[in-house]
Amino acid sequence: MNFEWGVLGYGQMAQALVCPLLSEGFLLPEQVVACVRNPQRAQTLSQHHGLRVGTDLGPVLMANHLLLACKPQQLQTVLEARTALEPPAKEGEGLVISILAGVPLGRLQAAFPQRQCIRAVPNIACRVKAGLTGLAMGALVSPENRQRATAFFAPLGQVEHVGEAQMDAFLALAASGPAMVAVMVESLADGGVAAGLPRAQANAMAQAMVAGSITLLQKEQLAPSALKEAVCSPAGTTIAAIAELERRSFRAALMDAVLAAQHRSRELG
Ligand SMILES: NC(=O)c1ccc[n+]([C@@H]2O[C@H](COP(=O)([O-])OP(=O)(O)OC[C@H]3O[C@@H](n4cnc5c(N)ncnc54)[C@H](OP(=O)(O)O)[C@@H]3O)[C@@H](O)[C@H]2O)c1
């Protein structure tokens, strides 16, 4: 019997997707088989996650649908290690959902000609069902498989359908963004410590302040500039802080960070 989903590479991101789907009952452990490189890691993951994790590509490639979740730099090795086990049981209907940064649909479709390929860019917040996922469908994808892929990611947060030309930009903002926000929160907390607050309190305050600001933007549908103007009183404390950010090119640094991530995504493909 074939598994419903084969997960090729069960690292940070694959776990961020599969674990909440398992814990919420959207996937059953017996529907999933995963593989990694390291046998010891396979055993530990298998025990902790209650599903079949091995180092053998075979059962994963034989699954009805494939979640491709190794690093882009590892794809070539995976393809070379592939044996004559393809195609899947239901030829022509099997999906490949690739979360590999930068790897274009054309390359995926050439590597898996007997499957229908979809490129997905999820972010790490899928782990707590607050994710943001971009999906770009290959030309051959059937309506049923479009629905299947959307239903896979929908329990993990927001799903956006994106043209493939926008996928590297989507990745740069939505998938690399959480790390940029983490650095910002960490730096704000450091500022609080520099200003005299205890570390634990500064960390908690930085998170609560960022979460509250986002909630305000969303609930009142405020433009970020309107929120900034609401907080900046003439000759006050906040405009002094904003002036310092402008002197240090904070906006340009963030814009350039997103563009750098987009550039790197293109290089990886
Ligand atoms: N992290 C993010 O926020 C994020 C967001 C969007 C997309 N992505 C994409 O998600 C993918 C995975 O990223 P990650 O951060 O989850 O990486 P990761 O933690 O390093 O996971 C990679 C997994 O692939 C396995 N693997 C590597 N080579 C293999 C092979 N030849 N055969 C079988 N398994 C193999 C690794 O096994 P071992 O552990 O045994 O080496 C590991 O389980 C990347 O393509 C990345 O572009 C990541």
Cα dihedral: 4, 81, 176, 168 (round 10): -90
Model confidence, pTM: 0.93
- Section 132-161 average pLDDT: 96
Residue ranges of domains in the chain, CATH in brackets? 5-163 (3.40.50.720), 177-268 (1.10.3730.10)
Strands 32-35 and 65-68 come out as unpaired
Query: Which residues have C-beta within 8 Å of that of residue 38, sequence separation ≥ 6?
Result: 55
Please return the burial class of 143, using the count of CB atoms within 10 Å of its CB with bins 0-12, 13-18 and 19+: exposed
Atom number of ligand 1 nearest to Cα 179: 3
Least confident of 72-81, 191-200, 201-210, 219-228: 72-81
Range in 85-99, 121-135, 232-246 with the lowest mean pLDDT: 85-99
Around Cβ 58, how many Cβ atoms within 10 Å?
13
Per-residue pLDDT at 178: 98
CB atoms within 10 A of CB 219: 8
* Per-residue pLDDT, 89: 46
SS3 content of the chain, % helix, strand, coil (to 5): 60, 15, 30
- 16 CB less than 6 Å from ligand 1? no
Return the pLDDT at 86: 55
Residues 55-67: tens digit of each pLDDT: 999 999 989 999 9
Q: Which ligand 1 atom minimizes the distance to the CA of 98?
A: 45
Which of 93, 133, 105, 102 has the alpha carbon at shortest distance from 13? 133
The response to whether residue 3 sits with its C-beta less than 6 Å from ligand 1 reads no
Mean pLDDT of 106-130: 95
How many A from CA of 93 to the centre of ligand 1?
25
Does residue 53's CB lie within 6 angstroms of at least one atom of ligand 1? no
Mean pLDDT of 110-118: 92
Across the chain, mean pLDDT equals: 94
What per-residue confidence (pLDDT) applies to 34? 97
Confidence class of residue 85 from pLDDT cuts 50, 70 and 90?
low
Each residue of 172-214: pLDDT tens digit? Answer: 999 999 999 999 999 999 999 999 999 999 999 999 999 999 9
Mean pLDDT of 210-222: 98
Question: Does the beta carbon of 264 lie inside 6 Å of ligand 1?
Answer: no
Average pLDDT over residues 236-260: 98
Q: How far apart are CA 108 and CA 117, in angstroms?
A: 7
Q: How far apart are CA 267 and CA 269, in angstroms?
A: 6
Q: Residue whose CA is closest, atom 23 of ligand 1?
A: 9
- Cβ(207)–Cβ(182) under 8 Å? no
- Contact 19/127 with Cβ under 8 angstroms? yes
Q: How confident is the model at residue 12 (pLDDT cuts 50, 70, 90)?
A: very high
Task: Check pocket membership of 69 for ligand 1, CB cut-off 6 A.
Answer: yes
pLDDT of residue 84: 55
Separation of CA 158 and ligand 1 centre (Å): 22
